[in-house]
A and B are shown apart, each in its own frame.
Chain A
Amino acid sequence: MFEYLNQPEIIKTIVTIGSMTLLFIGLFGLLTQKHFIKIFISIAIMETSVFLFFIGNIFNNTFTAPIISERFGDVSKMNDPIPHAMILTAIVIGMAVLALGVSFAIEYFKLTGNTEIDKMNGMKH
């Protein structure tokens, strides 16, 4: 029924539009929210959209996993391993940045009792 969805162009278009929609959601949250933790979560959503964009654009449903063995056959019919390795790095770094940012927010709340970015006025006086 949905055979036409298997064409690579359709898949890439859907992945591009979907991941950019996710980027939009994250960017909207980043621009409009005022709570620290919500801002960090918005950044994490934007990161996730970029991961999805990379992995989904390299995905080809006629190719196999990049694991060399008898079952998966020829090397030229395998998915590209480089985006996977790159996104693995990016996920770990994104997690480290998110954890560090959240701990900054916790420590700032402990010091000032403030969670809103508009009320950050420590430099004013």
Chain B
Amino acid sequence: MSIKRSLPTSIMSGFALSAALVLTFLNILLQNLPESMQRAGDSLLELNANEGVSNAVTTVVVYFRGFDTLGEIAVLFIASLGIGLMLGENSHCEIKAESNFMLKSASKLLFPIITLYGIYVMVYGHLSPGGGFQGGVIIASGVLLLLVSHKDFEVPHSVIVLLETFAGVAYVLIGLIGLFTLDVFLGNFLPHDVSQMGMLMSGGIIPIIYIIVGIKVGSEMSSIAQNLIKRGEDV
């Protein structure tokens, strides 16, 4: 039995099905537009003042639901592991075209600036918009630029392994130290004085954890990009 769909019926049925579903969604959502939002964030914003961290989003991500962030990093690690298992066996460079001189020089010039900006976003994640995930992705975009422009550039596998292992172990260790000292996993055991709010050294463990998250995300994104670009020659 062949399940080959002829093109017109497929497009028509797809259009009808998705239009019906989306109109239903739209009907429900537009009829229930909330007048005044009952916000759970208000109480969190009140609590946030006790932790000495300016950026409330950082406090929610790293502290109030820090255990979820640990699981999220585990998901990212498993995805990176799967990609490495599937594509990373014979990983030698196989980009056919040679980049020209302009691209090579400009990427060499830009890479330190991109990395510096990523580190800034990472370190100041508890004071300004940004944080570990964003900073890690910025650093990985710099690595991606070098991977695209230089034929023989490669992040050594040992460096990625070292950074990922360090970041994962450090996250769990900080959580366990909090468990033993304050009876709470990921408890804030370092001094976090409210009067220091807005300074770089404030917030106790929260900026440290976000920097660790940034290292892990950056190394994993770099390894994903490297595995997707450098495939074997048998394609």
Chain A interfacial positions (CB closer than 8 Å to B): 9, 12-13, 16-17, 20-21, 23-24, 27-28, 31-32, 58, 65-69, 75-76, 78-82, 84-85, 88-89, 91-93, 96-97, 99-100, 102-104, 106-107, 109-110, 118
Closest chain B CB from A57 CB (angstroms): 8
Q: How many A-B residue pairs have CB under 8 A?
A: 141
- Pick the contact of A82: B41, B49, B54, B234 (CB < 8 A): B41
Closest chain A CB from B86 CB (angstroms): 5
* Chain B residue contacts of A67, Cβ below 8 A: 54-56, 127-129
Known A-B contacts A92-B76, A96-B76, A110-B235; A103 and B54 likewise in contact (beta carbons under 8 Å): no
* Chain B residue contacts of A79, Cβ below 8 A: 41
Interface of B is mostly: helix
- Pick the contact of B21: A27, A75, A76, A104 (CB < 8 A): A27
- Whether B18 and A81, one on each chain, are in contact in the complex, defined by CB atoms closer than 8 angstroms, is no
**B106 proximal to A (CB < 8 A):** no
Beyond A76-B42, A96-B80, list 9 extra A-B contacts (CB 8 Å). Answer: A27-B17, A27-B21, A68-B45, A68-B197, A78-B45, A79-B41, A84-B57, A84-B60, A110-B234
- Whether A93 and B55, one on each chain, are in contact in the complex, defined by CB atoms closer than 8 angstroms, is no
- Whether B48 and A68, one on each chain, are in contact in the complex, defined by CB atoms closer than 8 angstroms, is yes
* Chain A residue contacts of B82, Cβ below 8 A: 100, 103
- Whether B83 and A103, one on each chain, are in contact in the complex, defined by CB atoms closer than 8 angstroms, is yes
- Whether A20 and B25, one on each chain, are in contact in the complex, defined by CB atoms closer than 8 angstroms, is yes
- Whether A103 and B18, one on each chain, are in contact in the complex, defined by CB atoms closer than 8 angstroms, is no
Q: Tell me the complex Cα distance, A105–B225, Å.
A: 15
9 contacts between A and B (CB under 8 A): A13-B33, A28-B15, A66-B45, A69-B198, A81-B44, A88-B133, A89-B61, A93-B72, A110-B234
**B224 proximal to A (CB < 8 A):** yes
Known A-B contacts A31-B14, A67-B56, A89-B72; A99 and B224 likewise in contact (beta carbons under 8 Å): yes
Closest A residue, CB atoms, query B136: A92
What 3 A-B pairs have minimum CB-CB distances, sorted nearest first?
Answer: A31-B14, A80-B41, A96-B79
The 8 A CB mask of B5-28 against A (1 = contact, 0 = none) is 100001101110111011001100
* Chain A residue contacts of B18, Cβ below 8 A: 24, 27-28, 31
Closest chain A CB from B10 CB (angstroms): 6
Closest chain A CB from B183 CB (angstroms): 25
- Pick the contact of A32: B11, B79, B133, B227 (CB < 8 A): B11
Closest A residue, CB atoms, query B217: A92
Known A-B contacts A28-B15, A32-B10; A96 and B46 likewise in contact (beta carbons under 8 Å): no
